[in-house]
Amino acid sequence: MVLSDGDIVEHLKQGKIRITPEPDYDKALSSCSVDFRLSNTFMVFEHSRFSFIDPRSPVSIAESMRKIIVADNEPFMMHPGDFVLASTVETLELPDDLVGRLEGRSSLARLGIIVHSTAALFEPGWVGTATMELGNLGRIAVALYPGMRICSFHFEKLTSPAQVPYRLKPGNKYAGQTLPGPSKLTLEVE
């Protein structure tokens, strides 16, 4: 069951869902979702310095990226074929009986901007900012501005609360994140 706009507001008022800073309902609230804004921090791959990334090497992953901080009112240019990590301004905290789903905005998709490659599910008990995998599938550069509405979240009710919410899951890799960061695939024990 997907929460409606009224249910989202009620969950926010009761503190079941926490979004910090609190959204401007007039701009951010839709009939079944709430928009989040783009932060000013981006992680870009240094493809001119590295010919490949080794997912088993934390050094390879960390060194292949660099952080870019964009000033307010300045654009971050997404060129055709670009892939970057970015995060939301807002921090999201979910209860143990709700799932959050991040979706890209249609208005940006129509410009060729994808907002997430595969990481759209935010498990019950999630806390932190959302890291998005931004890509430009178009043939022309697109300017993205810190503070612009970049994605939306909708929320789905579980049949019962999760027995092990994400924030308590042993080995969770991204709970509490505040900035976009590189993959932590090397922390997985196979």
Is 64 annotated as a binding-site member?
no
Is 166 annotated as a binding-site member?
yes
Question: Please, is 127 exposed, middle or buried when counting C-beta atoms within 10 Å of its C-beta (0-12, 13-18, 19+)?
Answer: middle
Contact 19, 44 (CB under 8 A): no
Place of tokens 């971050």: 76
Measured in degrees and rounded to the nearest 5, phi and psi for residue 166 equal: -50, -45
Q: Which of 133, 156, 188, 190 is catalytic?
A: 133
Is 4 annotated as a binding-site member?
no
Question: Which of 14, 182, 20 has the alpha carbon at shortest distance from 98?
Answer: 14
Is 107 annotated as a binding-site member?
yes
Contact 178, 68 (CB under 8 A): no
Q: Is 116 helix (H, G, I), strand (E, B) or coil?
A: coil
- Confirm whether 133 is a catalytic residue: yes
Is 60 annotated as a binding-site member?
no
Is 108 annotated as a binding-site member?
yes
Binding residues: 105-110, 166, 173, 177
The residues carrying an active-site annotation are: 133
Binding residues for dCTP: 105-110, 166, 173, 177
